[in-house]
Every structure is written in structure tokens, then in C-alpha cells.
């Protein structure tokens, strides 16, 4: 475009950029089925949610998913792990080779490439001060091990004088007070807790409508959500720039239970727009996956 054309079309170009900016600021890939807490100006977050029973026809009120999200010289590797299905995964095989090499640098690479743990549940939003329009609605909620441990602690309390509670029960469950603090630049969920056991509603018609609004959880671990071992291996080789992957073992499924990953800021975290929890907690890893996925799509 010549300078004269640039000058003549300046208004038109500005209108075009405004439209493009509006499109880019609206994340078309965002899934409005999901709810996510937000922080206030002080760096803290608060909301009250209720974990819901398993959807009709499904066996568990949560889905457990392992995935990988890391960058190599060939781009991003953002994939669900076959270990979710109790199968071998090429990243696990490769990480085992690194871990057993005897060098600390290889162990550090294995830690950075270790699988991330996410849980999915249906929730009912009781209170959301940052987004009141979410209250009274059913969403999917993705969370990590820290919150799941609190759920397990409610179901299987540590002391005999504590009454077990099924947090997923409509009538005898309990609201979950989600409390987020920003500690050393990371999200911390330690103060979150369950309220006293109480029915979500005394009206069965209301509860039935909530129940019918739930989303499938088993869909997250359906076979269609996972690539084959061979496809994952090919992607891994491309991302890491290696000519061949380690030989696939014939027995066992690696659990990748390496020592805890150091709590430190990584290039991943520095590129995130919001602070997150330490890597060992898995919460920030969960929240980052969609961000990483968008980067992977740009390769």
C-alpha cells in the first residue's frame, strides 16, 4: 500500500482494526460451561459453590484426567496422557529414561515434563461476588489435587469425632467456601473449607432442575479424547527434536511419581496474565492448560 493509499484509507483501516480487536478480545474458544473464580483488587478471591452429584447414567461425581503441557524446540506439547486410561504413554516412557539416566539435569527436564492432574466436577454457584450473574447456575469446574484433598478429607475425616460428609449430596452435602489468597505471587487454596452439612434446597423440583442441567463428566475421559500412542510419540519427537523415542516397554504403566517439582516461577508462569499456585499443587497447571493449548495451535 502506498503512502497516499494509507492516508486515504486511514479511517477505514481504523474501523477494521477496531472490529478485529473486538473479535480477539472475545475468546471464541472459551467454553461457557466452565466456571472459574476471579481475584479482587487485593489479590484475594472468594466464592461459595456446591459440588453436585454424578450426572444421570454416570458413576462418579468427578472425572480425573492426566495431561502434559510443556515446550520444546519444536513447539508446544499439549496432550492428554494415556495414563488416564491405565495405558502407557510415550512421555512417561521418555521421562523414565531421563529420570534413570543418573544426571540431575535430566531429572530436572523430567520434572518439567511431568504429567498434570486435573479433576472435573459439576458445581452449583451459590455466591460469586465478582460475577453475581453466575449465581444460581450450574457449571463445570476444573480443579486440582489441593481441592480434591479437601473433598476427600470431608468424606473420610481424620478424627473419630468428625462426621463424614458427602459433599456431592443434594440433601446432606455442604457448600464449599472457596478462599483464594495470593501468596508469593501464587494462588493458595489452604483457607478453603466446607460449611456445615445442609440441603442445597428443600424443593425437590428445584433440585431436579439442577440435576438435569449437569454436564457429562465421562466425556473428559472418553477414548475419543486421547490420541494413539504412535500419534503422541510422533508429536513428542517433533516437539523435542529427537529422531527416535525410547523403546516402548511391554509391562506396567508408569505413574511418574517423581519428587515434588520445585516451587519457582517458570517461563510458563511469567507469561500468564494472572498469578497462580505453586507447581506442586497442580491448581495453576490446570488453569494454564487452555492458555498453552492456544499457543500450541499457533505452531
Write out pLDDT tens, residues 79-105.
Answer: 999 999 999 999 999 999 999 998 999
Structure confidence at residue 10 (pLDDT): 62
The mean of the pLDDT values for the chain is: 82
Average pLDDT over residues 208-223: 97
Structure confidence at residue 185 (pLDDT): 84
Structure confidence at residue 27 (pLDDT): 41
Q: Which CATH code of 1.20.1250.20, 3.30.390.50, 3.90.198.10, 3.30.70.380 fits the domain covering 45-297?
A: 3.90.198.10
Structure confidence at residue 40 (pLDDT): 92
Contact 224, 231 (CB under 8 A): no
HSE-up of residue 207 (Cα within 13 Å, Cβ side)? 16
Average pLDDT over residues 16-44: 71
Q: Domain limits of the chain?
A: 45-297
Buried b (16+ CB within 10 A) or exposed e, 62-93: bbebbbbbbbbeebbbbbbbbbbbeebbbbbb
Quick check: 73 pLDDT over 80?
Answer: yes
Q: Dump pLDDT digits (tens) for 246-266.
A: 556 554 554 444 443 333 333
Range with lowest mean pLDDT among 58-67, 213-222, 224-233, 270-279:
270-279
HSE-up of residue 67 (Cα within 13 Å, Cβ side)? 26
Can you give the pTM of this predicted structure? 0.76
Contact 165, 174 (CB under 8 A): yes
Q: What's the gap between Cα 23 and its chain centre?
A: 25
In the numeric block, the cell 490446570 is attached to 286
Structure confidence at residue 291 (pLDDT): 44
- Angle subtended by helix axes 283-297 and 145-155, to nearest 10: 140
Amino acid at each position: 500500500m502506498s503512502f497516499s493509499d494509507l492516508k486515504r484509507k486511514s479511517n477505514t483501516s481504523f474501523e477494521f482494526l477496531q472490529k478485529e480487536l473486538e473479535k480477539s478480545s472475545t475468546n471464541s474458544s472459551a467454553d461457557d460451561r466452565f466456571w472459574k473464580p476471579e481475584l479482587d483488587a487485593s489479590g484475594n478471591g472468594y466464592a461459595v459453590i456446591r459440588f453436585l452429584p454424578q450426572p444421570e447414567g454416570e458413576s462418579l461425581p468427578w472425572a480425573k484426567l492426566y495431561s502434559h503441557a510443556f515446550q520444546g524446540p519444536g513447539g508446544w506439547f499439549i496432550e492428554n496422557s494415556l495414563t488416564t486410561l491405565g495405558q502407557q504413554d510415550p512421555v512417561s516412557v521418555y521421562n523414565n529414561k531421563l529420570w534413570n539416566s543418573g544426571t540431575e539435569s535430566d531429572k530436572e527436564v523430567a520434572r518439567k515434563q511431568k504429567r498434570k492432574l486435573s479433576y472435573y466436577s459439576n458445581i452449583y454457584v451459590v455466591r460469586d461476588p465478582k460475577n453475581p450473574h453466575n449465581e444460581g447456575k450450574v457449571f463445570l469446574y476444573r480443579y486440582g489435587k489441593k481441592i480434591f484433598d479437601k473433598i476427600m478429607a470431608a468424606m473420610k475425616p481424620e478424627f473419630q469425632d468428625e462426621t463424614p460428609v458427602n459433599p456431592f449430596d443434594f440433601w446432606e452435602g455442604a457448600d464449599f467456601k472457596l478462599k483464594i489468597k495470593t501468596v508469593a505471587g501464587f494462588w493458595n487454596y489452604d483457607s478453603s473449607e466446607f460449611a456445615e452439612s445442609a440441603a442445597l434446597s428443600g424443593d425437590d423440583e428445584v433440585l431436579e432442575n439442577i440435576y438435569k442441567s449437569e454436564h457429562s463428566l465421562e466425556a473428559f475421559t472418553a477414548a475419543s479424547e486421547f490420541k494413539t500412542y504412535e500419534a503422541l510419540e510422533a508429536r513428542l519427537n517433533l516437539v523435542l527434536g529427537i529422531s527416535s523415542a525410547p523403546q516402548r516397554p511391554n509391562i506396567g504403566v508408569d505413574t511418574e511419581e517423581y519428587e515434588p517439582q520445585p516451587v519457582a516461577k517458570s517461563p510458563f508462569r511469567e507469561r500468564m496474565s494472572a498469578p497462580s499456585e505453586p507447581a506442586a499443587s497442580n491448581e495453576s497447571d490446570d488453569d494454564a492448560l487452555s492458555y498453552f493449548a492456544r499457543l500450541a495451535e499457533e505452531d
